[in-house]
Amino acid sequence: MKNSFLTIDDLQVKGKKVLVRVDINSPIDPVTKKITDDERLQLHTGTTIKELSEMGARVIVISHQGRPGDSDFISLAEHAEYMSRQLGKPVKFVDEIFSSHVKEEINKLKDGEVMLLENVRFYAEESIERPADALTKVHLVRSLASYVDCFVNDAFATIHRSQPSLVGFGELLPTAAGRVIELELKALNGVLQAGRKPAVFVLGGAKVDDSIKAIGKLLANGTADTILTGGLLANALLVAKGYDVGPKTMEVLKGKGLDKFLPLAKEVLKEYDSQIETPVDVAIMDATRKDIHVSELPNPYPIADIGRETVGRYCKILEQAKTVVLNSPLGIYENKEYAYGTMRVLNCVASLKAYKVVGGGHIDDVVNSLGLRDKFNHVSSGGRAILYYLSKEKLPVVQMLERAKDKWGGKAKQLADF
């Protein structure tokens, strides 16, 4: 299948200053402020960044880390150290994004050298969400674009966002997708291929609003035939069905905006009830795990996992699947007692002779801990991005890459002319 966008193969990068937008947003210890999981760093450094460096490009990397006000909103200085260790050579860190000093440091780069600039979200402009043509005009984009020769976007996990560093460069610079985006979209297009039916989606996690919207679209466009639910998503759907899930769980759901998404949840259930599976039993977080039937709700203790009977039901449904997408854990997987549902369903999916994609909500941590990575066709670095793409929504980064191909297509190899 031919790409609708340019890739690194379409660029002549030797000796050129290549700006690369990645997503190395990593889990951070709230106390020490140190990186606790370097998987995304390994992914981007070991693919696109390494390849561009080996091709003789002068690589300038940008990324975000956390959100303003959150405990993981930190500098990228330590990220540069991780990248340096993986590449086996120095990665220079510059604690700014655009300035005369940044321009000077970029101009000092030699072929094959790599530089990481500061967290783009340290600059308020990066939080602007507007159409790409408007973001082309912001100071951050205009300044950075004037320092470099071309742009590579490899931030798959944020392809659903329309922010300056993600979509602003396509009109100003020859622009291509990096290897991570290329690989991710190829894998997800495998889910969309005709003939791999039935398609079963297993959805959980805490981002309830997005998941409910995705369920409606996935079922409406025929991408999914059946949806199995867990986590806060399942709890919200139980409320929509009329169950009282108890004060502790309701408190969490209200904190996630229950009043806003409950009407949509009821609407989706009314339209697609026969295709959406919710738990028949749940595990509550008492002193120890206790499984109860949903008819026994409410319970004063919070719901922490799907129950054992539900796991059995879900595995029987999965046995018939030709395509499976598993997005986010089904319970509080960090606690071993309540990781049961997630682990059992993962093992069940891993044993299937189906096309299998997993990713989102750090579920890849569980996949790795169980030694199941090679049992899946694809382990994705994205979470919501997976659902947005498979829902066939128009995604800002993909649209930008497609427009860039139209603009730069035949010219990209002749970078010296720009």
Q: What is the pLDDT along the chain (418 residues), one digit of tens a residue?
A: 578 999 999 999 999 999 999 999 998 889 999 998 888 999 999 999 999 999 999 999 999 999 999 999 999 999 999 999 999 999 999 999 999 999 999 999 999 999 999 999 999 999 999 999 999 999 999 999 999 999 999 999 999 999 999 999 999 999 999 999 999 999 999 999 867 899 999 999 888 999 999 999 999 999 999 999 999 999 999 999 999 999 999 999 999 998 899 999 999 999 999 999 999 999 999 889 999 999 999 999 999 999 999 999 999 999 999 999 999 999 999 899 999 999 999 999 999 999 999 988 678 888 988 999 999 999 999 888 999 999 999 999 999 999 999 999 866 555 544 4
Strand partners, 117: 94
> What is the per-residue pLDDT for 410?
64
Q: Label each residue of 150-161 as H, E or C.
A: EEEECCHHHCCC
Query: How far is the CA of 410 from the CAs of 5, 183, 310, 406, in angstroms?
Result: 12, 23, 54, 9
Of 324, 320, 321, give the one whose Cα is nearest residue 375: 324
pLDDT value of residue 417: 46
Residue 371 Rama label (left phi>0; alpha psi -120 to 50; beta): left
* Per-residue exposure over 323-348, b if at least 16 CB sit within 10 Å of its own CB, e if not: bbbbbbbbbbbeeeebbbbbbbbbeb
Give the Cα separation of 253 and 257 in Å (integer).
7
Total length of the chain: 418
The token duo for 288 is 């120890």
Domain 8-180+395-417 has CATH 3.40.50.1000: no
Contact assessment for residue 19 and residue 58, using Cβ atoms and an 8 Å cutoff: no
304 neighbors 285 (Cβ within 8 angstroms): yes
Q: So what's the pLDDT on residue 49?
A: 98
Tell me how far apart the alpha carbons of residues 12 and 176 are, in angstroms, rounded to a whole number.
11
- Specify the domain boundaries for CATH 3.40.50.1260 within the chain: 8-180+395-417, 197-353
This prediction's pTM:
0.90
Predicted local confidence at residue 300, as pLDDT: 94
CATH number given to 197-353: 3.40.50.1260
Q: Which pLDDT score is estimated for 304?
A: 96
